[in-house]
Amino acid sequence: MKKNTRFSVTLRLLIVKMLVRKIGNPILRMSIISESQAQGLENTNASTSCTSGELIDNIGSLEYNELTHTLVAIFRNIRLKKIDRGVKKVNERVVEEKFALLFQSNFGLDQEGLAFSLWTLSLPTVVIVHGCQEQLAWATIIWDNICAKTDRKLFEVPKLLPWNRVVEALTMKFRACTGRGLTMENLLYMFIKAHESKQPVPALNNRMISFSQFCKETTQQHSYTSWEWIYAILKITREHFQGPWIDESIIGFIDKSSAENHLANCVPGTFLLRFPEIVLAGISIAWVHKEKDGQRQILHIQPFTAKDFVIRSLANRICDLDELKYLYPYIPKQEAFGRYTTSTIPPRHKDYVASELRTVLILDPTSNCITDSPGTPNSGKSHDTSSSEYNWTSLDEMCGFEVDNISMFAPQD
């Protein structure tokens, strides 16, 4: 939840149908409370006026929905104006401090002489003030969601969790955010990255991972954490090539040497896409290149990032490159990516010749490498040049509330 950013919440009153029409349209109040306040509320089981911040447009009413025959309250333009943070725990970051939305309502059944005071809490939320905190905040939320159970003290979590429970949550997040979950091969690759160990597959479920390993400790080879790398892939996949990912046209989670082994016996022009470790939120293409003398090499295009895809999409870039012919193992690239290409030629003005940006590979004939080179005019087209990595080788009773609408990423404008 980002401070001073509007968001919406939908809440339903789960109550037997015979009472829905009798209680009218009760007023519903929403507030934000801290973890300790939530624990106190759970212990007393009574309405409270405590709060840890100020919400704007936080009062609504439960309206009868003819379609579902339920009482629903929709808060469309809530805004967190102020947040009161508690005393920070030892070694705890701001993005590890958890809050919850508290919903409270009072209503009665006059004929029966009954009065009800109801409350419910949302799942835990983390309050951020800048977009750069979003990634770390989601690590806190995912870790909490894995530990969510009815008999725990709100919102306590263990420092260690079994790896199989962590990857189950990651698979659910990938499916929710990108439309496709993770395969066993993907999970094995993540395991190796998180533990920096090539442990045999049968031992995966028995291994434990700490919260610190998950999102605080950087790997030996890189300056980022395992979660930073995974989150960056989630984000770029959702925003720039969700279609090909759903189609399983992107292997993604595979290291460079394994990619080369996959391509070792493939025909020239065969390629695959992988998420490289050298850059966050990047995707690289490995392909079989045939030299003039007939020898074959497995080359790797320098990773594309989100900035590149703002200029030209992944599908367009792949279709630009004549060297790329077949998606591994032997799928014509137009069949795999053609429907995702978009027209990029701008409207033509009188007395001017139209141009467009295209991706090209410039092969250095003396070193067999692809080199960085400025775009040069060629037949009315300017070039967006990609370079190599310079590493060639052969290869979740009567009444209660239900809170809806939780999204991992903020809606795009």
In the chain the domains, ranked by start, together with CATH numbers, are: 5-130 (2.60.40.630), 184-361 (3.30.505.10)
pLDDT mean across residues, the chain: 82
Burial of 167 (0-12, 13-18, 19+ CB in 10 A): buried
pLDDT band at 319 (very low <50, low <70, confident <90, very high): very high
pLDDT band at 151 (very low <50, low <70, confident <90, very high): confident
pLDDT band at 406 (very low <50, low <70, confident <90, very high): very low
| Closest by CA position to 137, among listed 122, 145, 123, 126 | 126
Higher pLDDT, 110 or 249: 249
CA-to-CA distance for 74 and 290, rounded, in angstroms? 60
Give the residue-averaged pLDDT of 66-82: 88
pLDDT value of position 68 = 79
Higher pLDDT, 313 or 89: 313
Residue 86 has pLDDT above 70, yes or no: yes
- Strand-pairing partners, residue 11, are 73, 403
Which conformational region is residue 208 in: left (phi greater than 0), alpha (psi within -120 to 50 degrees), or beta? beta
- Residue 22 φ/ψ, nearest 5 degrees: -85, -25
Q: Which residues contact 289 (CB under 8 A, 6 or more apart)?
A: 268, 296, 297, 298, 299, 323
> Which single residue is written with the structure tokens 């659910």?
172
pLDDT tens per residue, range 130-141: 888 899 999 999
pLDDT band at 19 (very low <50, low <70, confident <90, very high): confident
Residue 269 has pLDDT above 90, yes or no: yes
pLDDT value of position 197 = 63
Higher pLDDT, 324 or 70: 324
pLDDT band at 200 (very low <50, low <70, confident <90, very high): low
- Residue 256 φ/ψ, nearest 5 degrees: -65, -45
Across the chain, which distance is largest between two alpha carbons, in Å? Answer: 94
In the chain, pLDDT over 90 holds for what percent of residues?
A: 41
pLDDT value of position 409 = 55
Residue 263 has pLDDT above 90, yes or no: yes
